[in-house]
Structure 1
Amino acid sequence: MSFATAFWDVQKAENFDPVVKLLLEALANEMYLLGEDFNHIESRLLDKTARILTPGIMLAPTPAHGIAHATPFENDYVFRKDTGIYYDVGHSVSDDQLGAVYFYPSCNTPLYKGDVRLLLYDDLIYKVDAALNKTMIARLDQHTSPETVWVGLDLDDNISNLRNMSFYMELPNVVDSYKYLYLLSCSEWYIGDRKISMRRGIYNIEGENDNEVMSFFENYELTHAVDRNILNLYKNNYLTVNEDISFSASSFLPSGFPEEIPEALAMMLDKKLFWIKIVFPGVFAGKMLEDIRIGINMIPVENKLLRQSTFILDDTFGVIPLKTAVSEYLLDVHSVRNGKGEPYHELLYGKSGQGKADNTYSIRRGGCERFDSRSAKDQLEYLYDMLNDEIHAFSTRQNIKLRSHIQQIVQTLSKLKEVLHDMHETGEVPCYLFIDKMKENERITVDYWVTNADMANNLPAGVPLSAPKSAFLEASTLFLVTSTYGGRKEPKEQERINLYKYELTSRNRILTNNDISCFCKKELGELLTSVSIKNGVCIHQSSNGGLVRTKDVYLHLASPLQDIHIEERLKRDLQIKLEESSPDTFNFRIFIDK
């Protein structure tokens, strides 16, 4: 309006002709709306660019994870990644109703018909249950070495070799326990008088693929990357027997085992417990070893569920909606195949010995390629407001036929308002599968993983789990050993742009202080207000390491963490991820300013 007054040399806008003034105001309003549309288009294009160029592992929701215990009915049982267990919630976790929270193992690992029954430290003997809870049952008259722990295993008689048996250990009441878990690999293990070789990490049976190209790219698939990240977080908690160990009756009691055993243990020792002697480094002593928890048949599990849908495609569109329930988010597509059993792949693999390529598909996450960010509910609300405003302009007409049509529109609007009131957008943005080389009336079966993301966090340790009958697991031994954490929804629009900037500038390699700062902001998001990096010096964790230079990372959080265990996990996970993406010469220390 001010530009028009200056152009026409009019002193005041009130002097305009009313019709001219009305036209100018309408034009200004339309220009404003057009500018808003351009802003939406720019934001949408930037978001699409960030989605396409940012690795899928960064944009996908993160499943919650933890440690579960399970004992099979028979030996030589392999707990595979396609075998699920679940926790029956039975009540509302938050505003949304969850019937059950499903967990699947992060690796294929063998389970054994047996368990850790007793732990002996100093002059105390503890009984251990399936959830690793310890109960003191006896006290000896003599003290043992303060750096030694005896582990009593109750194993099935048909188990003849301990090779690849993985032991899980944790230090529940130790500050900065993740620093000591790194030193567990320095402990010495004895069976009888024989020292046995141990390696860090849980035993994982890798799957084999005859196609070398597919086998190479499988390592970069989203589910494989999630499994690998979770296994890295718990790697220091596991030690695995790295040699063939066959035992006999003469090896049940190691040398140095206390000669005086209370009568209360006589019945338990009649089971011929298989004893393992563990000598820890000198830094482990006193209360630390008294509280240590050791067990077998412990599996890292992650919150996800395998769903299956079957569709018949027409000859027009090869688009398949991947439906998720309330509070579920698409994690990844597991497999796609047609009615003949022929597989579809996300990447273009050449068929061995043939010139043609395999069938392919692609995933699109919501939007339907619109140039604005409005969802279906937003579009309906916009339509309702427009009709509700404009309908009054025609309600004064005397035309009977027109008034009848207006009355029908009013009734339709009232129904539309009820539909909008009942719509809940608690799930994720819809995802779609685009099929290439489709045929008319072709049947497509899609298996895809979904997760509850942050809804599965904070399930307490010790809660019982359930398993289908086909799993062949003892129901009384299924427990969560640790509380679940780490679940997150997919990043929001601004977070996606920040992830794109980080990936574009660092290539996921940490070399400078700015890379460290950007990485921390990427991992912690809104929880982190600022981060500072300083150079420091500390004593190396190994006994002969001496002084080493460190990168001290100081985190300034928006709000203090409520639990010391949450703080420990945050520092442990951040340090592991920093070390994974940085040179081996970098030594990190994480501090949280309070």
Structure 2
Amino acid sequence: MLELLFSQNVFTHIPAHAVCTAIPVQPRAEINELYQFYFSKEIDSEKRGEGMPDKKNIYFTPTSKNVLLNGEIKYLLAGKHLFEINGRLREIVGEAPASVPRSNSVLNIGILLNPLTDLLDGLSLFFSFRNHQAEDRFYHALSNAKFTINGKTVEFENRIGTDVNGTKTLLDDLVKKESDISYRASLFINDIYRKRFMTLSDGNYRLKDFVNDFKVTGPLQEYFYEKNPEVFSKDILWLEIDLGLPFSFSDLNDLVVTLNCFPVVNRELNEYTHSVVKGANVIPLYTDDLFFDVRRVSDSSERTYKPRISADRESENENSYLVRQGGIARFDSRDARESIKNLMGLVRDEAAAFAIKGTDLISYELKQLDQIIARLQQRIDTNGAEHDLNSYLILESGNEYDKINVQYWTISGELANNIRQGSALSVYRGVDVRDKSVVLMTQTTGGRQKLSGEDKLNSLRRSLLSKGRVVTAEDIKALCLELFGNNITKVEVKKGIDIIHQAGKGMVRTIDIHIFLKDKSEIASDEVYQKTEILKLKLKRESVNLLPYRIMIS
């Protein structure tokens, strides 16, 4: 019944995500989902099993193609202060007096690039605005800001990388959205962080067109040019951002801007080869982690098998595969092995019951069945099939005999959460990325195991009542409950008024969502912020309401 109502994709595991930065070995490099980084995380003795190691590698890959330039941000001129930046550390090297006119809507960023760099297209900046109360206003102003490099106008776009997992056309995008769980997860993660990224558009910008062309553009730059002339050397590219809206000097001073950042998702690429024959083949997907999605299935001739959704056996399904996840698509958690154990106990009980009644024939047949099941159980124990195997492929092959190469993603679930900001990741795959340069800019969050039976019923109830859309206030409350779980006491939906974050505009009616957390809630403040951002994104995607939403956490 559940399979008729939902795709199995609805109840899959959810990977953790974060934003990290890296420096390439060459002046310019492009990375994609096949680049893998890992973090060795210590596991509590209570969570790991007997004989298990005390550390586990948590793997991450980029969510999309991204451009990395060999360089760094050296200076930030914001408000009245000039900051010198060295990695994650920064110090004030100059302060303008009150007599010097300064703007609270303009940022100046000094970028030092490798002199061998040629093409600048794809240069990305990641912004961290500390004041959560004013961040929506700041990021809205940032997306509409005017940018210049050494006085020359350039175009920046509010986007991440080039594309997600190599989609080239709208048709490819639609097909991937239907069948590729990993692709949809990457799109969703990019949507969470998109507002914090600004990427230089593909305008064929060259470094040689900007060097040696610096011009002082205002009294604040003129003051620091006289006091600190070495800061404005010919090797530094000065990016000026005119936000168009004023912000407090304290907020601008707390702003953090980082080069070469990109979102990462917790997933590890597994690969192995399996023999198949003509017709239907069942291929188990072995893993010690949690199965997430199939990336690619190909034969010995490099012909790619296509995924399908239905399990029919029509001729057009040759050279195709179907993913099955036994433990995820049911409301209970019993698999075939547990069912056999229950059946063995039932057979023994019933055999004794028939023997008491004197029905020798039925009793004898049940004893025979008991012996057969016992031999099956012994076979299972001998082969060591005690691990949880819920994922497998049903593959339709048109060849009499062939070797199939299967690539699939696995994740670590909740174990990948709470890796702290500033943690260094090691390079597992990616020779053109410096090994010790990959650092997390945000804490990892969002990882979750498969849904419990109660969570499945909550998702089923919300989807049946609203068809996956947010229409009424009760739909909003159900969505909040789905995201925050039992950490909230109540949700109130009210009408409100807000100021539009745009010059020349007035006020607008809003829908205010007040979420009341429990006094002893187990959710950390960073996780509350991330869940709030996800709630905003889901409301934007699923709501049919034209009014903007405001979310208040109490």
1:319 equivalent in alignment to 2:277? no
Residue 506 of structure 1 corresponds to 466
Residue 249 of structure 1 corresponds to 211
CA separation in 2, counterparts of 1:136 and 1:356? 65
Deviates more, 1:466-475 or 1:84-93: 84-93
Q: Structure 1 residue 89: deviation in Å?
A: 2.5
CA separation in 1, counterparts of 2:10 and 2:328? 21
Residue 477 of structure 1 corresponds to 437
TM norm structure 2: 0.81
8 Å contact 1:333–1:447 — kept in the other structure?
yes
Residue 579 of structure 1 corresponds to 540
Q: Structure 1 residue 535: deviation in Å?
A: 1.7
Aligned residue type for 2:106: T
Q: Structure 1 residue 474: deviation in Å?
A: 1.4
Higher strand share: 2
Residue 200 of structure 1 corresponds to 158
CA separation in 2, counterparts of 1:269 and 1:93? 54
Residue 223 of structure 1 corresponds to 182
8 Å contact 1:91–1:99 — kept in the other structure?
yes
Change in CA separation of 1:56 and 1:523 when aligned onto 2, cut-off 3 Å: farther
SS at match of 1:251: coil
Of residues 6, 30, 38, the one that matches 1:78 is 30
CA separation in 2, counterparts of 1:561 and 1:92? 18
SS at match of 1:515: helix
Q: Structure 1 residue 265: deviation in Å?
A: 6.1
CA deviations 1:442-476 (Å, max 9, x no partner) are 32221111111211011001111111464311123
CA separation in 2, counterparts of 1:78 and 1:168? 17
Change in CA separation of 1:255 and 1:244 when aligned onto 2, cut-off 3 Å: farther
Q: How does 1:102-117 map to 2 (within 5 A)?
A: 102-117=59-74
Aligned pairs, number: 516
1:59 equivalent in alignment to 2:11? yes
1:566 equivalent in alignment to 2:524? no
8 Å contact 2:276–2:403 — kept in the other structure?
yes
Q: Structure 1 residue 557: deviation in Å?
A: 3.4
CA separation in 1, counterparts of 2:68 and 2:532? 31
8 Å contact 1:150–1:275 — kept in the other structure?
yes
Q: How does 1:314-393 map to 2 (within 5 A)?
A: 318-325=281-288, 328-347=289-308, 359-366=319-326, 373-375=333-335, 378-379=338-339, 382=342
SS at match of 1:101: strand
Residue 233 of structure 1 corresponds to 192
Which consecutive residues of structure 1, in runs of 5 or more, have no partner in the other structure? Answer: 1-48, 350-354, 395-408
Q: How does 1:119-198 map to 2 (within 5 A)?
A: 119-130=76-87, 133-142=88-97, 143=100, 144-175=102-133, 177-178=135-136, 180-198=138-156
CA separation in 1, counterparts of 2:153 and 2:448? 43
8 Å contact 2:296–2:304 — kept in the other structure?
yes
CA separation in 1, counterparts of 2:471 and 2:111? 46
Aligned residue type for 1:228: L
Deviates more, 1:62-71 or 1:358-367: 358-367
Q: Structure 1 residue 590: deviation in Å?
A: 1.0
Change in CA separation of 1:94 and 1:487 when aligned onto 2, cut-off 3 Å: farther
CA separation in 2, counterparts of 1:93 and 1:239? 43
SS at match of 2:23: coil
Aligned residue type for 1:503: S
Change in CA separation of 1:94 and 1:127 when aligned onto 2, cut-off 3 Å: farther
8 Å contact 1:165–1:240 — kept in the other structure?
yes
CA separation in 1, counterparts of 2:540 and 2:62? 24
SS at match of 1:181: helix
CA separation in 1, counterparts of 2:245 and 2:82? 21
SS at match of 2:422: coil
CA separation in 2, counterparts of 1:101 and 1:138? 39
Q: How does 1:415-494 map to 2 (within 5 A)?
A: 430-437=390-397, 439=399, 441-468=401-428, 470-494=430-454
8 Å contact 1:147–1:279 — kept in the other structure?
yes
Change in CA separation of 1:367 and 1:120 when aligned onto 2, cut-off 3 Å: closer
Q: Structure 1 residue 72: deviation in Å?
A: 0.8
8 Å contact 2:80–2:95 — kept in the other structure?
yes
Aligned residue type for 2:115: D
CA separation in 1, counterparts of 2:308 and 2:455? 27
Q: Structure 1 residue 118: deviation in Å?
A: 1.5
Residue 286 of structure 1 corresponds to 249
| Bigger radius of gyration among the two | 1
Residue 492 of structure 2 corresponds to 532
8 Å contact 1:138–1:262 — kept in the other structure?
no
CA deviations 1:321-358 (Å, max 9, x no partner) are 11121xx2111111112233222111389xxxxx9665
8 Å contact 1:64–1:453 — kept in the other structure?
yes
CA separation in 1, counterparts of 2:182 and 2:188? 10
CA separation in 1, counterparts of 2:264 and 2:485? 25
8 Å contact 1:114–1:156 — kept in the other structure?
yes
TM norm structure 1: 0.76
CA separation in 2, counterparts of 1:514 and 1:234? 28
Fraction of identical pairs, as percent: 22
Of residues 221, 228, 237, the one that matches 1:258 is 221
SS at match of 1:471: coil
CA separation in 2, counterparts of 1:545 and 1:268? 39
Aligned residue type for 2:425: L
Residue 365 of structure 2 corresponds to none
Q: Structure 1 residue 552: deviation in Å?
A: 1.3
CA separation in 2, counterparts of 1:157 and 1:212? 38
How big is the alpha-carbon RMSD for the aligned residues of Structure 1 and Structure 2?
Answer: 3.8
Q: Structure 1 residue 74: deviation in Å?
A: 1.3
CA separation in 2, counterparts of 1:561 and 1:369? 29
Deviates more, 1:552-561 or 1:105-114: 552-561
Residue 303 of structure 1 corresponds to 266
CA separation in 2, counterparts of 1:562 and 1:497? 23
CA separation in 2, counterparts of 1:590 and 1:369? 33
CA deviations 1:272-308 (Å, max 9, x no partner) are 2111122334342221110101122001000001111
Residue 405 of structure 1 corresponds to none
CA separation in 2, counterparts of 1:376 and 1:358? 28
8 Å contact 1:201–1:234 — kept in the other structure?
no
8 Å contact 2:147–2:155 — kept in the other structure?
yes
8 Å contact 2:413–2:448 — kept in the other structure?
yes
Deviates more, 1:467-476 or 1:244-253: 244-253
8 Å contact 2:332–2:453 — kept in the other structure?
no
8 Å contact 1:532–1:555 — kept in the other structure?
yes
Aligned residue type for 1:498: N
CA deviations 1:65-115 (Å, max 9, x no partner) are 110101111134111111111112355596135521111111111111111
